[in-house]
């Protein structure tokens, strides 16, 4: 499981940073890629990765500001141009209005898609668990921005323990149906009377990963709730230390506030994105250094950077 950043800048693109978009690559888990926000130009960034648009099965939008959605119609249209590949349906989750934005853009531009889009819109009253599959559950909560904006908590379900086939063989269990029984937790007795206890050969279940991806926000209690015990928290850092007042006025956070959220939530790792173009590279190291005084495991991400979870 990896996160690849397709745009890490705030508000407008700069030479170094495109506007907001990231890909949660779940290829090993479910052979799918989920996108979070689609700022303009994100499809050009995708061209520089190994991500195949057809693998993108779900898109989650945090809010309707242009720097988070203007890349969506373009991406959806390009995704259709894979004529020799199977056309697979797509789910879009986001605030009320996202459906009208997408359908209007497609209609007035005369774009026809050879696949279906299923829209899942929500408002203040319909948040909470927005998706559950056999492997993942996704929750959304309202953050504190200048328009309705949400954060997402993606929870992988616990992974079953695995069977230690080598040790079973060594214990004299013939390969075949007995393996299946033991895998299902059943104790078995071998022909020579040896008792095999399934629990001795199955590793303990592993806890699933928790990934928290927030939209634009002031420091908010909802952010902390979404990030409780997260393996990774992706938090905006539009401003730096000392800019708390201006951050508040514009509906954003500083690096210090993001670090406080990570610390309060007991997250394991903090990735800062939505970085203002005002910051030069020496400022970026300062952003990290300052945040690290509050939460040590912090990193300011770059476009195209890939982070393993
Ligand atoms: Zn915004």
Report pLDDT for 83: 59
Note whether 139 and 90 are same-domain residues: yes
Tell whether residue 145 is among the known ligand binding residues: yes
Q: What is the CATH number of the domain that holds 5?
A: 3.60.15.10
Q: Which residue range forms the structural domain that includes residue 83?
A: 1-158+205-300
Query: In the annotation, is 123 catalytic?
Result: no
pLDDT of residue 84: 67
Residue 300: what pLDDT?
A: 97
CB 274 within 8 A of CB 20: yes
Tally of structural domains, the chain: 2
Do residues 281 and 239 share a domain?
yes
Q: Look at residue 99 in the predicted model and tell me its pLDDT.
A: 98
pLDDT of res. 77: 93
120 is in an annotated binding site: no
**Together in a domain, 32 and 87:** yes
Whether residues 240 and 282 share a domain: the answer is yes
Regarding whether 148 and 170 lie in a shared domain, the answer is no
Cα dist from 203 to 28, 29, 126, 173, 278, whole Å: 20, 19, 39, 17, 50
pLDDT per residue as tens, the chain (309 positions): 999 999 999 989 998 899 999 999 999 999 999 999 999 999 999 999 999 998 999 999 999 999 999 999 999 999 988 756 677 899 999 999 999 999 999 999 999 999 999 999 999 988 999 999 999 999 999 999 999 999 999 999 999 888 888 888 888 888 888 888 888 888 988 888 889 998 889 888 889 999 999 999 999 999 999 999 999 999 999 999 999 999 999 999 999 999 999 999 999 999 999 999 889 888 999 999 999 999 999 999 999 999 999
> What confidence score (pLDDT) does residue 86 get?
75
How far is residue 70's CA from residue 101's CA, in Å, rounded to a whole number?
Answer: 9
Distance from residue 65's CA to the centre of ligand 1 (Å): 5
308 within domain boundaries: no
| 188 and 77 assigned to the same domain | no
114 C-alpha to center of ligand 1: Å? 31
- Of the candidates 191, 277, 263, 274, the one whose C-alpha atom is nearest the C-alpha of residue 237 is 274
The verdict on whether residue 200 carries a ligand-binding annotation is no
Assess contact for 258 and 270: CB atoms under 8 A.
yes
Closest CA to 300 of 66, 1, 106, 10: 10
83, 232: one domain: yes
Which of 2, 28, 37, 67 is catalytic? The answer is 67
Q: Which helix (H) or strand (E) holds 247?
A: helix 244-250
Distance 121 CA to ligand 1 centre (A): 18
Contact 261, 233 (CB under 8 A): yes
Contact 138, 131 (CB under 8 A): yes
Looking at the fold, whether 269 and 152 belong to one and the same domain comes out as yes
């Amino acid at each position: 499981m990896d996160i690849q950043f397709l745009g890490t800048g705030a508000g407008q693109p700069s030479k170094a940073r495109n506007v907001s978009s990231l890909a949660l690559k779940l290829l090993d888990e479910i052979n799918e890629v989920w996108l979070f926000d689609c700022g303009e130009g994100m499809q050009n960034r995708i061209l520089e990765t190994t991500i195949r648009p057809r693998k993108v099965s779900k898109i989650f939008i945090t809010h309707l500001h242009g720097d988070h959605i203007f890349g969506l119609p373009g991406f959806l249209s390009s995704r259709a141009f894979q004529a020799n590949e199977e056309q697979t349906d797509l789910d879009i989750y986001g605030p009320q209005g996202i459906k009208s934005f997408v359908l209007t853009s497609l209609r007035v531009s005369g774009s026809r898609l050879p696949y279906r889009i299923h829209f899942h819109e929500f408002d203040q009253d319909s948040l909470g668990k927005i998706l559950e599959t056999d492997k993942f559950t996704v929750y959304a909560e309202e953050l504190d921005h200048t328009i309705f904006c949400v954060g997402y908590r993606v929870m992988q379900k616990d992974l079953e323990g695995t069977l230690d086939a080598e040790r079973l063989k060594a214990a004299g269990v013939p390969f075949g149906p007995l393996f299946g029984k033991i895998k299902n937790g059943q104790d078995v007795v071998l022909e020579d009377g040896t008792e095999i206890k399934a629990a001795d050969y199955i590793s303990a279940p592993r806890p699933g990963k928790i990934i928290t991806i927030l939209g634009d926000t002031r420091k908010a209690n909802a952010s902390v709730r979404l990030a409780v015990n997260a393996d990774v928290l992706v938090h905006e850092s539009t401003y730096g230390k000392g800019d708390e007042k201006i951050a508040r006025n514009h509906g954003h956070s500083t690096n210090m506030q993001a670090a406080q959220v990570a610390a309060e939530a007991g997250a394991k790792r903090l990735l800062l994105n939505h970085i203002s173009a005002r910051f030069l590279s020496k400022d970026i190291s300062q952003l990290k250094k300052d945040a690290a005084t509050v939460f040590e495991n912090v990193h300011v991400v770059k476009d195209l950077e890939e982070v393993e979870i």
